[in-house]
C-alpha cells in the first residue's frame, strides 16, 4: 500500500519550503520535523491497541494504549533529521540505526554501519528516510530488518520517485509506504525531479 499526504495544506506548504533552494538550514529542519510528524501520525493509524482501565479525574473508563514494542530505524545520514520528530510522537520506541551511502556514479548504496535492537517481538518497525529515489537504500535496509526478524515494516519517506516506489513494491509488497509527495521521475544521476536536491547536504550543511 502506498499512502501519499495529498491535498493537505500544511504538507503542501512545508514541501514547498523544503523544495525551495533559498530555504536556509533552520527552516529546512523545521519543515522536515513537521512533515515527519504528519507522516508518522498517518503510518501509526493502524497500530494495534490494548484495552486499559484508566480513571479520569471524574470516572473510570476503558482506555486504549499502544500494544507492544515499536522501533524507529533512521537510514543515516538524512533519516536522522526525522528521528527526533518521530520520537516526539512515540517516545517509548526503541531506535536502530543503519548507515548507507549511495555511490555517486552507480547510485548503489553500500552499508557502513548497523546497530539494531531485537526486532523479532516488535509490533512495527518504521524505516525513516526522507528520500526514496531508486529504492535501493530502502530495499537493502528492509532485507536486513527482515533477516533480523522484523515482521511488520513501514517505510516513511518525505519525497518518493515512482521508480523507487515500484522497485520497493516489487521486492517487498508487504511493506506499506507513507510519503508526503510522489514526484515525477529520476534524472540521469538518479536524483528526484522536481525533488529538493541532496537532502543530507541541505540538512547538515555539507555539499
Ligand atoms: C540519500 C537519501 C537516501 C538515498 C535514497 O542518501 O538520504 O538514503 O540517498 O536513494 P536511493 O533510493 O536511490 O537509494 P545518500 O546516499 O546521499 O547519503 P546521506 O544520507 O548520507 O547523504
Ligand atoms: N538522495 C537525495 O538526497 N536526493 C535525491 O533526489 C535522491 C537521493
102 is catalytic: yes
**Cα–Cα dist 139/14, whole Å:** 27
Q: Which atom of ligand 2 is nearest to the CA of 198?
A: 3
Asked whether 145 lines ligand 2 (CB < 6 A), one says no
Going from the Cα of 25 to the center of ligand 2, the distance in angstroms, rounded, reads: 17
Residue ranges in the chain modelled with pLDDT below 50: none
Asked whether 204 lines ligand 2 (CB < 6 A), one says no
pLDDT at 6: 87
Burial class (CB in 10 A: 0-12, 13-18, 19+), 52: exposed
Going from the Cα of 20 to the center of ligand 2, the distance in angstroms, rounded, reads: 15
201 is catalytic: yes
Residue 162 contacts residue 110 (beta carbons within 8 Å)? no
Residue 177 contacts residue 157 (beta carbons within 8 Å)? yes
| Tens digits of residue pLDDT in 103-134 | 888 888 899 999 999 999 999 999 999 999 99
Asked whether 131 lines ligand 2 (CB < 6 A), one says yes
Going from the Cα of 199 to the center of ligand 2, the distance in angstroms, rounded, reads: 6
Pocket test for ligand 2, best of 28, 76, 196 (most atoms within 8 A of CB): 196
Question: 170 by DSSP, 3-state: which?
Answer: helix
pLDDT at 104: 84
pLDDT at 139: 95
Mean pLDDT for the chain overall: 96
Q: Which residue(s) pair with 179 in the sheet?
A: 4, 157
Amino acid at each position: 500500500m502506498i499512502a501519499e499526504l495529498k491535498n493537505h495544506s500544511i504538507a503542501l506548504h512545508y514541501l514547498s519550503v523544503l523544495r525551495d533552494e533559498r530555504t536556509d538550514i533552520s527552516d529546512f529542519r523545521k519543515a522536515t520535523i513537521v512533515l515527519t510528524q504528519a507522516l508518522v501520525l498517518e503510518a501509526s493509524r493502524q497500530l494495534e491497541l490494548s484495552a486499559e482501565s484508566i480513571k479520569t479525574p471524574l470516572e473510570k473508563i476503558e482506555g486504549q494504549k499502544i500494544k507492544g514494542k515499536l522501533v524507529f530505524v533512521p537510514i543515516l545520514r538524512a533519516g536522522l533529521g526525522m528521528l527526533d520528530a518521530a520520537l516526539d510522537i512515540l517516545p517509548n520506541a526503541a531506535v536502530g540505526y543503519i548507515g548507507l551511502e549511495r555511490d555517486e556514479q552507480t547510485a548503489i548504496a553500500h552499508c557502513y554501519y548497523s546497530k539494531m535492537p531485537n526486532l523479532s517481538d516488535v509490533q512495527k518497525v518504521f524505516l525513516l528516510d526522507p528520500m526514496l529515489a531508486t529504492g535501493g537504500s530502502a530495499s537493502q535496509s528492509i532485507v536486513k530488518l527482515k533477516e533480523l526478524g522484523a515482521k511488520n515494516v513501514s517505510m516513511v519517506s518525505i519525497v518518493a520517485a515512482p521508480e523507487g516506489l515500484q522497485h520497493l513494491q516489487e521486492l517487498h509488497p508487504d511493506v506499506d509506504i507513507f510519503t508526503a509527495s510522489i514526484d515525477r521521475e529520476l534524472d540521469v544521476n538518479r536524483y528526484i525531479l522536481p525533488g529538493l536536491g541532496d537532502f543530507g547536504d541541505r540538512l547538515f550543511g555539507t555539499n
